[in-house]
Each structure stands twice: as structure tokens, then as C-alpha cells.
Structure 1
Amino acid sequence: MSAAHRPGLRVNAALIIPESELSWRFSRSSGPGGQGVNTADSRVELVWDVANSAILPTLQRERLFERLGGRLVDGVLTIAASEHRAQLRNRDAARERLATLVADALRPPAPPRRATKVSRGAKERRLTAKKQRTDVKRLRRPPTD
């Protein structure tokens, strides 16, 4: 299925970014490719305006701003892909990278860890092991007369 026929970019089960909110920029890629690099616009930049997105609820928008703040420029997220020689493969790589990045940023935070005490059995085992280690090292010492 070509990029023009896709309904949008599926981030997770609940979120699909419509194609109308995504924009593309193409430029010449650096790196290997010989003469092809100088003529083909295979480098891809995928741009998504997070701040003005119509599909994001307030909570998700705030979470994206909080977790992707360093990557956003004026509320816009840009993903560049130039690892492949073909523009189409770079497009797919950029789409996949955007979906992964947004899905990870939207994931709810892990519940806080509850502190627990070390069990009595664990304490006893640790002390027993320390005593055994002490005995081994004591036996290695030269005898004192």
C-alpha cells in the first residue's frame, strides 16, 4: 500500500495520526551512493506539528511536550531518515521512527516502587555467607606462633 493511500500513521491501538497532519521534506542525502547521491533526493524529513494537532487530547499533548521537549522546536517534531539509498525506504523508516517515538512518549509512567524490608532469612543467609568467607580467609593466613 503506497503512502498516499494510507489513512494515517498508526502509533498505537488508540492513536492514528492522519496523513493531513504529516508533512514531508526531501533533500540530497550524504554518504555512500556514488553519482546517485548527487542527483536523487533520498533524504527524508517527516514533520508533525504536535502543538496544533487536532487528534491529541490535552493529557496526551502535555505528556508529549514533557517527554519530547528537547526534540520539539516550537511544538513541531521532525524526524530525519537518510540511512537507505531509496527515498521510499527512508519514508518508511521515518514513519516507523515517528510512531515508535510517540508511542514511547505516550506510555503511562510506571507505578512508583514500594519500599520493602529485607527478610530475616535473607539477612541470616548473608551473615552466614560472610562468616564462611571469613573462615576461609582465616585458614589461608600463615600460622602465627
Structure 2
Amino acid sequence: MSSQNRPITVDLVMPEIDYSTSRSSGPGGQNVNKVNTKVTLKFDVKQSQLLTEEERAVIVEKLHSKITVEGVLVLVSQEKRSQLENKLNVNAKFNLLMHKAFEKKKLRKATKPSKSAVKERIKSKKQHSEKKKWRQKPE
């Protein structure tokens, strides 16, 4: 969720998304050689008018590995044999990335180890120490 509690989805930023298609790599026979099934989604994060400054900063920080130097988020899908399925797949990837980027991390509560756990740890350390002592040459 963003600062305004609105999820950033493909539907929200659709006017600013650019799709391009090309031929997929890998096996597939004649279908691969003649049909443009690979779909590339490009979204210019830095130039987006639909995002707030805060949202842009969060996206750039969290997804920096998928953003080019020019500030364009690039996602690719070529798993399926049809262009439509790949387009749906790349849209789902975009939605998932945006959801994860704005997800709040849960803070870990600090806990103390139980008395029995502490005793067990000290007991095992003493056993280890004794074992090492027995390895030494007698004086």
C-alpha cells in the first residue's frame, strides 16, 4: 500500500505503461520462429505523473535492481506460448512487485531464552570443554 492507502496496480498506471512484443527464446518449434509471444512491460517510474514523490522513492529504493539508469522499470515474460498469457503474466508480476515494495516489515519481538534452554547450553559447553581437556597431554 502506498502513503494514500491505495494499492499501485497495472490498472492504476496503465496510461503510463508501455508494452512491446518480440520473439521468445528457447524451444517451441515453428511457433517460436514466427509469433511474437515475448512481452516486455516498461514503466517510467521517475517520470510518472500518477505516483507521488514518496511512492516513486519507495519503488526506486526497493526495486533498484529491476530499474534502468533512466528510471524505467522493465519486466519480461516469455514462459507461455501465447502473447495474451504472457501479457497477463507480466501484469501479475508487476502487481506482485508493487505489493511487495509497499509491504510493511513486521518487527521482531525480542525474547529471552528460557532457563532450561540456558542450562542446556551451559551443560553442552561444559561437556565440550571437558572433551577438549581430555585431548591434552597429561602434566
TM-score category (smaller protein): 0.7 to 0.9
**Match of residue 7 from structure 1:** none
**Match of residue 136 from structure 2:** none
The answer as to whether partners of 2:39 and 2:86 remain within 8 angstroms in 1 is yes
**Match of residue 18 from structure 1:** 13
Q: CA RMSD in A?
A: 2.7
Q: Decide which of 110, 118, 122 is 1:123's aligned counterpart.
A: 118
**Match of residue 33 from structure 2:** 38
5 Å matches for 1:51-70?
51-70=46-65
Q: Deviations over 1:108-144 (max 9, x none)?
A: 3443x4544434343124345667899xx9xxxxxxx
**Match of residue 87 from structure 1:** 83
Q: Does 2:100 correspond to 1:100?
A: no
Give me the whole-angstrom Cα distance separating, in 2, the residues matched to 1:94 and 1:69. 18
Helix, strand or coil: the match of 2:28?
A: coil
Q: Does 2:47 correspond to 1:76?
A: no
Change (3 A) 1:45 1:65: same
**Match of residue 3 from structure 1:** none
Task: Select the structure that is richer in strand.
Answer: 1
Give me the whole-angstrom Cα distance separating, in 2, the residues matched to 1:125 and 1:15. 50
TM-score by length of 1: 0.70
What stretches of structure 1 of length at least 5 have no aligned partner? 1-11, 138-145
Q: Structure 2: which amino acid aligns with 1:120?
A: K
Task: Select the structure that is richer in helix.
Answer: 2
What stretches of structure 2 of length at least 5 have no aligned partner? 132-139
Change (3 A) 1:110 1:62: farther
TM-score by length of 2: 0.73
Helix, strand or coil: the match of 1:103?
A: helix
Q: Deviations over 1:5-50 (max 9, x none)?
A: xxxxxxx963333321111001111122211111111111011111
Give % identity. 35
Give me the whole-angstrom Cα distance separating, in 2, the residues matched to 1:49 and 1:76. 4
1:57 Cα offset (Å): 2.2
The answer as to whether partners of 2:7 and 2:99 remain within 8 angstroms in 1 is no
